[in-house]
Structure 1
Amino acid sequence: MRKIGEGEPISGQGAVGVLRKIETLEDVLRVMEVDLSETIVFTPSASVTAITPILPKIRGLICASGGVTSHLAIVAREFDLPCLMASRVEGVDELEGRRVRFTAEGEIFLEEE
């Protein structure tokens, strides 16, 4: 495993799954009928409340902005969803479809193939 970032732990004990970047409502609509049970969503904005419908379906959430009082953080806690906020991730665009892990301490790792 190689450390690729870190964030502020919000809820859960961490998660392992395949990273998928979700930025817009269109992105959410595109994955509504897809099996997301192994998915960790990366979103750049804490104000992307459009992802709320997929929260029960995903394994974890990494957000590049926001903090403990952000709406997205509050909703993640309500869903008992492992979540990091204010996250910095190296090369996030190249990580789409790759297996990542984040810990309860806020460290983010790429699981090497």
Structure 2
Amino acid sequence: MEQISRLHLGPWAEALTQARGTPGWGSWLARHLGARLETERGYLPLLAYQGDEVVGALLWQAQGPGGAALLWGTRHAEAAHALLHTAAGLGRSLLVAWGPDDLAAGLQPPEHEAVIFSRLQM
């Protein structure tokens, strides 16, 4: 686990977009979020590693007495658990967005409030 600078979102965005099945969006996402997070101090980008390989990313947002993990993704359940555990430790509660892939992979929402989302099919 590593907290990275908002100025180095390239590897973070690549990890997230690969985990969510949209690998071509990494550079676009890094540019988009980099510009918006530059002045925001309430966000922490976290990376998960397996050895030297980046296997997950999570954007934690300070929110009330806890935080939110609404933008996250991993390629391994172990990385997901590590990221979510770290994010949960940053505040008293954690709001987490769970996608169908997360639930299908056997990840169970922690005892915190959960938001379930799905992608629209056009």
| TM-score between the two structures when normalised by the length of structure 2 | 0.31
Which one has a larger percent helix, Structure 1 or Structure 2? 2
Choose between structure 1 and 2 for higher RCO, CA contacts under 8 A separated by at least 6 residues.
1
Structure of greater Rg: 2
